[in-house]
Structure 1
Amino acid sequence: MEFKWLDDFMSLMELGNFSAAAKARHVTQSAFSRRIQALELWVGVPLFDRTSYPITLTEHGKKFVPYVENLLEMIKVTKEDFSQASLKTDNSVRIVCLHSFAVNLMPRLFREAGVLLDGLNLALNPSVQGIDNHFQALLDNSNDILLAYNTKGMRPSFLLEDQVERRLVLKEKIIPVASPELLESIPQGGSYPYLAYSEHTFLFNVVAPLTEQMQLPLEQVFETTLSESLIKMAVSGMGIAWAPLHAIESELEQGTLVQAFPERSELAIPLDIVCYRAKGATRPAVEQFWQGIGEVVAQSASNN
């Protein structure tokens, strides 16, 4: 049983309509209906009389109400207690982002922001697992800031998009790179060893359509979920990888990686990095971070 099913139950009981309840719960009607059915299956009895309009509770449903109310109250109190504990201090800003952002991008942003972020305790969680859960965490005040690529699979659903606000952090590109030694060793007309993202990663969905469409002479030899792993493999001369520019700046400067197929600009994929917060987030620390990042972005744009 999932706790969100209890809120679904209360919403449908109060509104008496699947469509209205689904909208209130920020999910599609079909997904909401499946969740109510799953709850009834877990309880073992029908909770709603679907033959009436508005939809009403069955006798079993009426008996179930006080149990749900007690459980939701316990969950609320527990969440509030631990949400406040996670803040530690009023100057804490809780940030969720990809691992590559935490390793390569965030230190640079914090350095460039300088005094704009003075006094803040930045709590960084490098894990994006289930993007909808992270957007919901913003709305529930369990997290303050979410950094993500502005691409399909990492944007808020249409049911949540009007409850969060977005700010550009960096105009990014994903480019094909390899060690110069590897590129020199491939004979003309030969195939290139290819270092790929695993299928269940969002960057796979960004890169794979391009490599398939362009029909490049690539032979996959490795796959992983981490950009950092692909980059290290590429530096070692093991193959060509598509990597975010923010993650390979030093390798490009040092010449341990070079752009593959530099004459083919269409193989570079533009992909902006953005940050989100809940609309109406009023904590001064979150506002200071939001405005600070905005000034960093504006300054960077004026210098380019």
Structure 2
Amino acid sequence: MDFNWLEDFLAVAEKGHFAHAAEDRNTTQSALSRRIKAVEHWAGAELLDRSSHPIVPTEAGIEFIAAAKEIVARTLEIRGAIGELTRRGEQDLTIASLHTLALYFMPELTELLRRSEPKLAVNVVAETRTLDEYLSALSGGVSDIFVCYDHPAVSPEIDASEFERVDIAEHGLALYSAIDKAVEFGDENRQNSIPYVAFSGTSFMSRVVEHSVSKTSFGERLQPVYRASLAESLFAACQRGLGVAWLPDAIFPSSAKKAGLQVIFPEAAQSLRVCAYRSRNVPVRPLVDRIWRQLVAMQPNGK
């Protein structure tokens, strides 16, 4: 559970109102509501009585408030002490990134940035996190920049007054199969199932792929034989011929052909925007400001 969610919960418990607490926490009401539900899911109990006006804590919530206050106070104390000991160097930059982008895109981006910042030292954080956790890291100054994908059909709700955004690249998302595994899409084969390697869960990529599937005429024929949350795992499964898979082109170190894969049914291809975010509410270090100006200059299509 994200530490900032405890502070969100305490704000709602104190204010007795989601809108007031959201304003105090400098976020949207919907984002705050999602975080409180995540806290309750983690705690395994309903902590707030939403039927009451103003909102009041439940019996379990009262117990949780006392523990949350102690955790928050102690954590802030420890973080302050550690911060004094581990101040980042002037040329150190922390970029949080989706795991897929961290494989090849982030090294390429770092190479470009270092051309004008030769002493730049980039720390890439590519842990499995929720969007709210990544954004909380920006708000708390733990990360300087967050790099992720965006797609018009499943664009996340991110408060523009809290986070600044810039689009820095365009990537493709296409349907692949192993070169030696033929797949027939014609109407004469509409009764045949198609082995399918799928993204699991409700991640960003799984929702984009669902949109892609909905645009095809053969979606009902796809028969999942393998599911995973990481694109790298789907890539390996597709290489082994387990089934077809939608994969972002950032997953390939060189070319699909060299990886033993081929694009099939190109009509199913989608475009993904690579975008970067930074917080508007933390002190801007000169290095971060210079890097951000470089990212703005990288915007595709002259945006």
Alignment TM-score, normalising by the size of structure 2: 0.75
Q: Could you say which residue in structure 2 is the equivalent of 1:134?
A: 134
C-alpha distance 7-270 of structure 1, shift in aligned 2 (>3 A): closer
Q: Could you say which residue in structure 1 is the equivalent of 2:60?
A: none
C-alpha distance 68-183 of structure 1, shift in aligned 2 (>3 A): closer
**Residue 179 of structure 2 aligns to which amino acid in structure 1?**
P
Instruction: Say which of 261, 267, 274 aligns to 1:257.
Output: 261
**Shift of residue 226, structure 1, vs aligned partner:** 1.2
Between 231-240 and 271-280, the greater mean CA deviation after superposition: 231-240
Contact 2:179 2:261 in 1 (8 A): yes
Q: Could you say which residue in structure 1 is the equivalent of 2:288?
A: 286
SS of equivalent residue, structure 2 residue 209: helix
Unaligned stretches of 5+ residues in structure 2: 58-63
Q: Could you say which residue in structure 2 is the equivalent of 1:182?
A: 181
Unaligned stretches of 5+ residues in structure 1: 58-63
**Shift of residue 206, structure 1, vs aligned partner:** 1.2
Q: Could you say which residue in structure 1 is the equivalent of 2:125?
A: 125
In 1, the alpha carbon distance for the partners of 2:233 and 2:68 equals 46
**Residue 233 of structure 2 aligns to which amino acid in structure 1?**
S
CA offset digits 1:104-160 (Å, max 9, x no partner): 211122223341232122111112412112112211111111111124777354xx3
SS of equivalent residue, structure 1 residue 290: helix
Contact 1:148 1:154 in 2 (8 A): no
CA offset digits 1:39-88 (Å, max 9, x no partner): xx99x9x9xxx78x9x999xxxxxx9999877644332322334565654
Does 2:272 align with 1:271? yes
C-alpha distance 72-270 of structure 1, shift in aligned 2 (>3 A): same
Q: Return the structure number with greater helix share.
A: 1
Contact 1:12 1:18 in 2 (8 A): no
Does 2:19 align with 1:19? yes
SS of equivalent residue, structure 1 residue 239: coil
The two structures, once aligned, show a CA RMSD in angstroms of: 4.3
In 2, the alpha carbon distance for the partners of 1:37 and 1:261 equals 44
Q: Could you say which residue in structure 2 is the equivalent of 1:60?
A: none
**Pairing 1:217-228 to 2, within 5 Å after superposition:** 217-228=221-232
C-alpha distance 237-282 of structure 1, shift in aligned 2 (>3 A): same
SS of equivalent residue, structure 1 residue 118: coil
**Shift of residue 224, structure 1, vs aligned partner:** 0.9
In 1, the alpha carbon distance for the partners of 2:255 and 2:234 equals 13
Contact 1:83 1:141 in 2 (8 A): no
In 2, the alpha carbon distance for the partners of 1:107 and 1:2 equals 28
Q: Could you say which residue in structure 1 is the equivalent of 2:239?
A: 235
Contact 2:18 2:33 in 1 (8 A): no
SS of equivalent residue, structure 2 residue 182: helix
SS of equivalent residue, structure 1 residue 171: strand
In 2, the alpha carbon distance for the partners of 1:35 and 1:256 equals 41
SS of equivalent residue, structure 1 residue 250: coil
C-alpha distance 37-22 of structure 1, shift in aligned 2 (>3 A): farther
**Shift of residue 235, structure 1, vs aligned partner:** 2.4
Number of corresponding residues: 286
Contact 1:116 1:288 in 2 (8 A): no
Between 119-128 and 182-191, the greater mean CA deviation after superposition: 182-191
SS of equivalent residue, structure 2 residue 110: helix
Between 237-246 and 184-193, the greater mean CA deviation after superposition: 184-193
C-alpha distance 114-5 of structure 1, shift in aligned 2 (>3 A): closer
**Shift of residue 170, structure 1, vs aligned partner:** 1.2
Contact 2:9 2:36 in 1 (8 A): no
Contact 1:83 1:142 in 2 (8 A): no
**Shift of residue 2, structure 1, vs aligned partner:** 8.5
In 2, the alpha carbon distance for the partners of 1:179 and 1:122 equals 35
Contact 1:9 1:36 in 2 (8 A): no
C-alpha distance 65-208 of structure 1, shift in aligned 2 (>3 A): closer
Q: Could you say which residue in structure 2 is the equivalent of 1:166?
A: 165
**Residue 237 of structure 2 aligns to which amino acid in structure 1?**
M
Instruction: Say which of 200, 216, 219 aligns to 2:202.
Output: 200
**Pairing 1:54-69 to 2, within 5 Å after superposition:** none
C-alpha distance 204-83 of structure 1, shift in aligned 2 (>3 A): farther
C-alpha distance 175-186 of structure 1, shift in aligned 2 (>3 A): closer
Q: Could you say which residue in structure 1 is the equivalent of 2:150?
A: 150
Between 211-220 and 190-199, the greater mean CA deviation after superposition: 211-220
In 1, the alpha carbon distance for the partners of 2:2 and 2:165 equals 29
C-alpha distance 85-102 of structure 1, shift in aligned 2 (>3 A): farther
Alignment TM-score, normalising by the size of structure 1: 0.74
